[in-house]
């Protein structure tokens, strides 16, 4: 079958509301990676997946194909690593919580390989704020990998590692809505972390993302949908979570009040521009931010500490994170990474 007929056949399948089997999902990603799908067809595929909803099997199969195209220039460090990359796309314009969580978690003893990008469908991505704070997004790939061992944290800028997908960026930006690539991004960290805390912007993404993580062999993970449609655990109310623990998948919920802290409205976490996002991140990492900003980072860090096996208790994880932040250690960790990647 010619590529053109094959693409049409897959698109028809998708638009009829059918899930793609593993081999077809992998083939579709292969065609994208080989730049054989036209922009107008890409738009149709993205709309089709959004209307149908991507299954966990589709996501895992496409992620595997993407990772096959992403070879490491040096051997993967023999470390238990964790990622805090989420789907984004919640439209809430909160400060970049998962980025703060990454540096706090690293100070708590977790080896962090954070995978991220500039914003595609939201306002500010992790790469935007880190770049504006002076982090070198274009350091050599070898150095980026070695930073995990040297510093305890690294940042993998997605376009540098997944160059075949760069052409899709403008299409996603112009669509301005969540697409399947918001879901695939967190699943294709080139360092293939052992554990992950993954925030989703919509409740209907909880199970497919958990299933995908499990199918990809994640040892431990948490998929979280925050109260008020955040893709992080929120301080405003009950947060819905799925825990993955060595092949077992279990649903749960948590509320910050369960751990002796008060609720805050999500609007306490919002920013209006890049500058204030950077200012908030710096203040959080220095332990000088508003109570709501400190507490939301502590709550999400506690989830990371569980996934990493550092703390089995969420309450003790929150307290450990606050202690680390109050000492200003995460800001030093950021400076260490910045200096290492710029050297």
Inside any domain, residue 256: yes
pLDDT at position 175, please?
64
User: For 137-146, what is the mean pLDDT?
Assistant: 96
* Claim to verify: residue 229 and residue 316 sit in the same structural domain: yes
Using pLDDT thresholds of 50, 70 and 90, give the confidence band for residue 89.
low
Q: pLDDT tens digits, residue range 221-276?
A: 999 999 999 999 999 999 999 999 999 999 999 999 999 999 999 999 998 766 58
Q: Which whole number is the average pLDDT over 197-221?
A: 95
| Lowest mean per-residue pLDDT among 93-97, 112-116, 234-238, 275-279 | 275-279
The answer on pLDDT for 37 being more than 80 is yes
* Residue 168 clears pLDDT 80, i.e. is over it: no
Q: Above pLDDT 90, what percent of the chain?
A: 77
Instruction: Specify the pLDDT at position 35.
Output: 87
The answer as to whether 76 is a domain residue is: no
Tokens 């918001």 found at: 182
- Enter the tokens of residue 260: 């002796």
Same domain, 111 and 8: no
How confident is the model at residue 174, as a pLDDT?
64
Name every residue whose Cβ is closer than 8 Å to that of residue 284 and which is 6 or more positions away in sequence: 95, 100, 293, 294, 297, 325, 330
213 and 221 Cβ atoms separated by less than 8 Å: yes
* pLDDT surpassing 80 at residue 119: no
Q: Verify that 136 and 237 share a domain, yes or no.
A: yes
117 & 224 share domain: yes
- Residue 61 has a pLDDT of 97
Is 64 among the domain residues?
Answer: no
What is the rounded CA–CA span in Å between residue 223 and residue 206?
6
Examine the fold and report which residue of 52, 67, 92 is the final residue of a domain before the chain moves on: 52
Does 69 map to a domain? no
pLDDT of residue 147: 98
Residue 314 lies in a domain: yes
pLDDT of 1 over the 80 cut: no
- Does residue 123 register a pLDDT over 60? no
- 12 and 136 inside one domain: no
Q: How many domains does the chain have?
A: 2
What are the tens digits of pLDDT across the range 173-206?
666 667 888 899 899 999 999 999 999 989 999 9
Q: Domain with 180 in it: what CATH number?
A: 3.40.1030.10
Query: What is the total residue count of the chain?
Result: 343
- Mean pLDDT of all residues belonging to the chain: 92
Within a domain: residue 67? no
2 CB contacts (<8 Å, ≥6 apart)? none
Are residues 38 and 126 part of one domain? no
Position 324 in a domain: yes
Domain range spanning residue 35? 3-52
Same domain, 41 and 164: no
C-alpha pair distances (Å), 193 with each of 76, 91, 178, 243, 287: 10, 27, 24, 16, 28
Q: Which one has a higher pLDDT value, 221 or 91?
A: 221
Q: Which of 44-48, 90-94, 291-295 has the lowest mean pLDDT?
A: 90-94
Q: Specify burial of residue 143 (Cβ count, 10 A radius: 0-12, 13-18, 19+).
A: middle
Residue 27 shares a structural domain with residue 158:
no
What sign has the CA pseudo-torsion 133, 129, 161, 241? Answer: positive
- Residues 44 and 125 reside in one and the same domain: no
Are the beta carbons of 14 and 49 closer than 8 angstroms? yes
Q: What is the mean pLDDT of residues 68-97?
A: 89
Answer yes or no: do 85 and 26 share one domain: no
Kindly state whether residue 72 falls inside one of the protein's structural domains: no
Asked if 215 and 279 sit in the same domain, the reply is: yes
Give the rounded percent of residues in the chain with a pLDDT score beyond 70.
Answer: 92
Are residues 283 and 150 both part of a single domain? yes
Residue 322 pLDDT more than 60?
yes
pTM value is 0.93
Bridge partners of residue 148, in order along the sequence: none
| Residue 152 to residue 216: CA distance in whole angstroms | 24
């Amino acid at each position: 079958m010619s590529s053109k007929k094959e693409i049409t056949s897959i698109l028809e399948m998708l638009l009829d509301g059918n899930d793609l089997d593993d081999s077809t999902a992998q083939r579709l990603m292969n065609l994208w990676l080989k730049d054989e799908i036209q922009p107008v067809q890409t738009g149709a595929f993205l709309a089709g997946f959004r209307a149908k909803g991507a299954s966990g099997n589709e996501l895992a199969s496409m992620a595997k194909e993407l990772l096959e195209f992403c070879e490491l220039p040096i051997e993967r460090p023999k470390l238990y690593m964790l990622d805090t990359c989420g789907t984004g796309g919640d439209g809430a314009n909160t400060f970049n919580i998962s980025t703060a969580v990454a540096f706090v978690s690293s100070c708590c003893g977790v080896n962090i390989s954070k995978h991220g990008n500039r914003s595609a469908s939201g306002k500010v991505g992790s790469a935007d704020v880190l770049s504006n704070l002076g982090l070198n997004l274009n350091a050599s790939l070898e150095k980026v990998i070695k930073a995990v061992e040297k510093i305890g944290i690294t940042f993998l800028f997605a376009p540098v590692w997944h160059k075949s997908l760069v052409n899709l960026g403008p299409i996603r930006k112009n669509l301005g809505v969540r697409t399947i690539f918001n879901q695939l991004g967190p699943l294709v960290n080139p360092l293939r972390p052992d554990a992950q805390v993954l925030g989703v912007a919509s409740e209907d993404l909880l199970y497919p993302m958990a299933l995908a993580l499990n199918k990809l062999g994640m040892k431990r993970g948490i998929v979280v949908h925050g109260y008020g449609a955040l893709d992080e655990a929120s301080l405003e109310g009950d947060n819905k979570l799925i825990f993955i623990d060595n092949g077992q998948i279990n649903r749960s919920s948590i509320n910050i009040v369960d751990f002796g802290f008060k609720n805050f409205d999500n609007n306490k976490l919002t920013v209006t521009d890049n500058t204030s996002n950077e200012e908030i991140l710096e203040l959080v990492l220095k332990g000088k931010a508003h109570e709501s900003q400190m507490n939301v980072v502590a709550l999400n860090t506690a989830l990371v500490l569980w996934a990493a096996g550092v703390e089995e208790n969420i309450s003790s994880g929150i307290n450990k994170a606050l202690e680390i932040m109050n000492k200003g250690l995460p800001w030093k960790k950021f400076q260490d990474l910045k200096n290492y990647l710029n050297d």
